[in-house]
Amino acid sequence: MNSDRQIHIIKLISDLGANPAKPGAAKGPDALLKYDAERKNIFSGALVSEVKMEQIDRDAEKQNHPLAKYCNYILPFQRVAAEQVKLVLQSNQFPFVLSGDHSSAAAVLTGLRQSFPNQKIGVIWVDAHADLHTPYTTPSGNMHGMPVAISLAEDNLAVGHNHLTDETAYWEQLKNNGSIQPKITQSDLLYVELRDLEEEEITYIQKHQIKNYTPAERKEKGIGVIADEVTKWAAGFDKVYVTFDIDSMDIEYVPGTGTPVADGFSPEAASILLQALWQMPNLAVFEVTEINPELDVTLTTLESVYSAIGNLKMN
């Protein structure tokens, strides 16, 4: 990363893309910043801005778009969020994004693509989940499972089984946010630590030969080798976006996230990988997402996340 640039924290305050039964991820960005301020204060001196989701009555709204829940609110939020990312990038600042739920990643990629329309953008998706579902394939309707498909402008109709009604118009507009689609192609995407996938996602990943560094490969090679291979892959791009979903870490370390999964990173392993990615000269955006402090009153999750990112050199 270009250390001459000013760090600008963008808080994307929303959890409408997450499981409606587990609200609270919207509080994650502020919880992490508070935790940091009471400890190392690695974010000291950073600029801070915020895009906040409109407050709604979840119970009254939840049945309106069951295959893309709250899409009528997520769409305008993503438009504003993308504009904020673009503004920060065009001000020659570095966006360090703290988002509530991972659906916001589609907006981050929109802002990045709008800022660099003709450059080759790579995406390193560190996550237990592929987030490749569409309204046509989703088993839940939760939109934090769809940001990669949005960015690929992918419907995945070949394995689709859902019939859309009112969701269609919003889905099309989400894919076309920023009047650019797709934002990336399959060859621009690399996964790390995927281990909780549905058949539709597995089929898509295999069809397009998208690389995933699995937990088994990490254990065989070691995280240092994985980090080296990932950074070598990333060197082929003009700009790189790294998004770190905390559920890439093992459930033991992050009980405070909406979809924890066993057999993930330790905080120490995550730290080795993220420090290597942080040092890439072409790193353009870095994101931490899916912290839900409502699910973890013991602070175990914040301690683990901080162990993973607390050694990044911000200044």
Type of residue numbered 58: R
What does pTM read for this prediction? Answer: 0.97
Distance of alpha carbon 95 from alpha carbon 75, whole angstroms = 21
**DSSP states of 112-175:** HHHHSTTS-EEEEEESSS-----TTT-SS--GGG-HHHHHHT---GGG-----STHHHHHHHHH
**In this structure, what are the phi and psi dihedrals at residue 189, rounded to the nearest 5 degrees?**
-120, 135
Please give the average per-residue pLDDT across 238-251, as a whole number: 98
Strands 93-99 and 47-52: unpaired
pLDDT score for 62: 65
The domains of the chain are located at 6-309
Distance of alpha carbon 263 from alpha carbon 154, whole angstroms = 29
Distance of alpha carbon 153 from alpha carbon 48, whole angstroms = 30
| Cα dihedral across residues 285, 291, 293, 298: positive or negative | negative
pLDDT tier at 9 (50, 70, 90 boundaries)? very high
- For 131-168, the pLDDT digits (tens) are 999 999 999 999 999 999 999 999 999 999 999 988 99
Return the CATH class of domain 6-309.
alpha beta
